[in-house]
Amino acid sequence: QRLLRLAELCRRLETEEEKVLPFYPSSLGELEQQKVCKVLEETASEPLARVMKDYMGLERFWQRFNKAKLEEKGLERARAALADRNQELRRLLQQYLAGATINQKVPKDPHPL
């Protein structure tokens, strides 16, 4: 009950964009969506199905939770890619600085760049 109450409070705090735009566009056709609606309206005979009806209010929560987790994973990958790029740029900068300090009159080793 507490979780449902918090979900209602969060719903009130959603922005207009969040209320209007769906999180996941349905990939079902019109006929399939009608069948789903029929199944959801029927009374469940199995105990698990009856219990699941009690948690239908949490569907939006799970959509938002999954969206947040996906964004988090995407940001982690982007951060890892940026860290790799940063390391590569540091390596190139060290090579450049090492080459810039070589005495140009008598180079013993070939220029690193």
Encode pLDDT of 54-68 as tens digits: 777 777 777 778 888
Residue 17 maps to a domain: yes
**Mean pLDDT rounded to a whole number for the chain:** 78
How many CA atoms lie within 13 Å of 109's alpha carbon, on the beta-carbon side? 8
Mean pLDDT of 6-14: 78
Q: pLDDT at position 72, please?
A: 93
Residue 4 maps to a domain: no
Give the pLDDT band (50/70/90) at residue 105.
Answer: very low
Residue 40 maps to a domain: yes
What is the secondary structure of the chain as a DSSP string? -HHHHHHHHHHHH--HHHHHS-SS---S-HHHHHHHHHHHHSPP-SHHHHHHHHTGGGHHHHHHHHHHHHHHHHHHHHHHHHHHHHHHHHHHHHHHHHHHTS-SSS-SS----
> What total number of domains does the chain contain?
1
Q: Is the pLDDT of residue 8 over 70?
A: yes
The two three-digit tokens of residue 47, written as one number: 């105990």
Structural domain for 85, as ranges: 13-105
Of 23 and 12, the structure prediction assigns the larger pLDDT to 12
CB 112 within 8 A of CB 99: yes
Quick one: residue 95, left, alpha or beta (phi over 0 = left, psi -120 to 50 = alpha)?
A: alpha
Residue 3 maps to a domain: no
The two three-digit tokens of residue 63, written as one number: 């959509």
Q: What is the pTM of this model?
A: 0.49
